[in-house]
Structure 1
Amino acid sequence: MTDMLAKRIQPMVFQARRLYVELMFQVMGRALQAVSEVDEKVQNEARALPDGFLFEMMVMPDGSKLIVEHTGQGRFRYHGDKAPRPIDLSIQFKHIAHAFLVLSFQEKTSVAFANDRMLVDGDISYAVRMTRVLNRLESFILPKMVAERAVKEYPADLHLPEKLISAARIYLKVATNFVETVRA
């Protein structure tokens, strides 16, 4: 009886994980755009990327994805899951379960790399830079206790007032972007 129940539940669990990862990629893409508009440290990291640089994070082989472009001056623009031209850097999860572990903050990105759950296609120095941007974003938008589990090192200089103000600005921009997308 339990084997039969497990066989019926397993596809639902897979579907729920897929939907969660898809939603998280949409939120993260919009949040990357937003954090690049409000945080000087993110802008400084992004300025080292070439203008027009396209970053993709995806689930292999052709699952959910997010695509952002460095438009210059440290700013990102979210493109959804459609790239206007070839991708410069792709970080790929080997399986939906691996993406779920990282995007549900059960496993740090660095641990996922170490456990061979992800691939990098592109310049490693750009991947390190984008990982720092993602870690900074997560430090702002996640509660400290969750962020400390999600990022390699929580910023020692990120204090509650700055965190709350920046998080509020990021979430407002993300919500505005979702509304604008729905209207379009």
Structure 2
Amino acid sequence: MLAKRIQPMVFQARRLYVELMFQVMGRALQAVSEIDSAVQKEARALPDGFLFEMMVMPDGSRLIVEHTGNGRFHYHGDSAPRPVDLSIQFKHIAHAFLVLSFQEKTSVAFANDRMLVDGDISYAIRMTRVLNRLETFILPKLVAKRAVKEYPSNLHLPEKLLSAARIYLKVATHFVETVRA
């Protein structure tokens, strides 16, 4: 009887967590594209105006970022100004929760058929590399090693801390600007 009452609350908590993580990730993608040359290099290969979406199927939470040129991303929230070019879709909220709570790597989730890619696979691989780079900066090393396929050996603590601080400051600033608007 108690399990029947708790189950909807667990589902709601996961949904709220995924929604919050998408907001943070979208803003963090914009921030990391402003400060990291490796991310900018990856993003420059994307066409200007390229729209990337990550979402929970069928109509769940989502994040949408646009490549505005010169390796920079702009976070659009959960609504696209036009049809997206690449969509990575989690098949269920539980699958998104596993990846976004860093219990399962994105590559493992894809291998376990928990997500779909709609769009050019080469762009999906490029965006996954950008997301992995972001995660190595903003997550503690122990957690980041669980989240990304390979933790970069050339990322040292001073660079990691400085980059993480700059990213979090930009994310916080973007949140405040959104609230004021």
Shorter-chain TM range is: over 0.9
Distance, in Å, in 1 between the alignment partners of 2:151 and 2:39 is 15
The Cα of 1:132 is off from its aligned counterpart by 0.1
CA deviations on 1:54-87 (whole Å, 9 max, x unpaired) are 0000000000000000000000000000100000
TM-score, reference length from structure 2: 1.00
Partner of 2:114: 117
- Map 1:30-179 onto structure 2 (within 5 A): 30-179=27-176
| TM-fit CA distance, 1:52 | 0.1
CA distance in 1, matches of 2:125, 2:90: 16
Displacement of 1:6: 0.5
Q: CA deviation at 1:32?
A: 0.1
Render the CA deviation track for 1:65-119: whole Å, top value 9, x for unaligned.
0000000000000000010000000000000000000000000000000000000
% same residue: 91
Q: Which TM-score applies when normalising by structure 1?
A: 0.98
Query: How many Å separate the matches in 2 of 1:157 and 1:66?
Result: 30
User: Structure 2: which 5+ runs fail to align?
Assistant: none
- In 2, distance between residues paired with 1:156 and 1:135? 14
Pairwise CA RMSD of aligned residues?
A: 0.2
C-alpha distance in 1, partners of 2:90/2:153?
29
Alpha-carbon separation, structure 2, partners of 1:124 and 1:74: 19
Q: C-alpha separation between the residues in 1 aligned to 2:92 and 2:155?
A: 33
Structure 1 runs of 4+ with >3 Å offset: none
CA drift of 1:17 comes to 0.1
Aligned residues: 181
1:180 equivalent in structure 2: 177
Render the CA deviation track for 1:141-162: whole Å, top value 9, x for unaligned.
0000000000000011110000
d(CA) in 1 for partners of 2:87, 2:171: 23
